[in-house]
Amino acid sequence: MKSTFLLFICMLVSGLFYSPLYSTSTNKPANLFFKTHAAVKPFGKVNIIIDKSDYELSVYDEKGWYATYPVVFGANPLEDKKMEGDRRTPEGSFIIQGKKPHDKWSRFMHINYPTKESYDRFNNRKQRGEIPKTAKIGGAIGIHGTWPREDYQIDRYKNWTLGCISMKNKDVEELYRFIPVGTQVTIRK
């Protein structure tokens, strides 16, 4: 009887502390995104690093790492944006150019794509014949939320945007509160 009770306690405790660390469908961490300082604003100047292959947006302040949020992007594959209409998320260094509440996606933080470097890559691709001579570079790229009640798109790593970076609505609202216009954003593969 005593050993059965101890076995039950061990199983109960194990169940409380065990949770799968990785999603079986994506091999990505299962909701292990760390928002450590939600009640404390970042210290000093902040910057954002968006890692497309890890589906993460990380915020750094003058003390170092501040928080990481799950994100999704435009179409697969997760290559650099080549031209307007390809639904890919651009890579490079950008800044937050503007911020506004958005009626569809909660909040929108516009980045300054295309930059001079974006135009240089675009023109080189045209010269090499990788994209049509009539192609346009595109624009209107930003960080935003999801459609109402569709945060599950982020949990499923479903790339659905036209090239933007999408976050859960509660996450984009939190980020929006402390990220000023002019914040440096690096998007990498």
Which residue in this structure is represented by tokens 């937050």?
A: 96
The dihedral sign for the CA sequence 149, 56, 48, 141: negative
pLDDT at residue 83, as a whole number: 97
Inside any domain, residue 2 = no
Instruction: Report the number of distinct structural domains present in the chain.
Output: 1
Considering the domain boundaries, does residue 58 fall inside one?
yes
Residue 140's CATH number: 2.40.440.10
Q: Does residue 64 lie within any of the structural domains?
A: yes
Q: Please identify every stretch of the chain with a pLDDT value under 50, giving residue numbers as ranges.
A: 3-33
Please give the residue range of the domain that contains residue 66. Answer: 21-188
Strands (E), 86-167: 92-102, 106-111, 142-144, 165-167
What is the model's pLDDT at position 128? 97
Q: How far is CA 42 from the centre of its chain?
A: 18
Q: Is residue 125 part of a domain?
A: yes
Residue 162 lies in a domain: yes
pLDDT at site 13 = 39
Helix (H/G/I), strand (E/B), else coil: 64: strand
Buried-state track 141-158, b at ≥16 Cβ within 10 A, e below 16: bbbbbbeeeebebbeebe
pTM over 0.75: yes
Contact of 73 with 94, CB cutoff 8 Å? no
**Phi/psi of residue 160, nearest 5 degrees:** -130, -10
In this predicted structure, what is the pLDDT of residue 39? 64
Considering the domain boundaries, does residue 1 fall inside one?
A: no
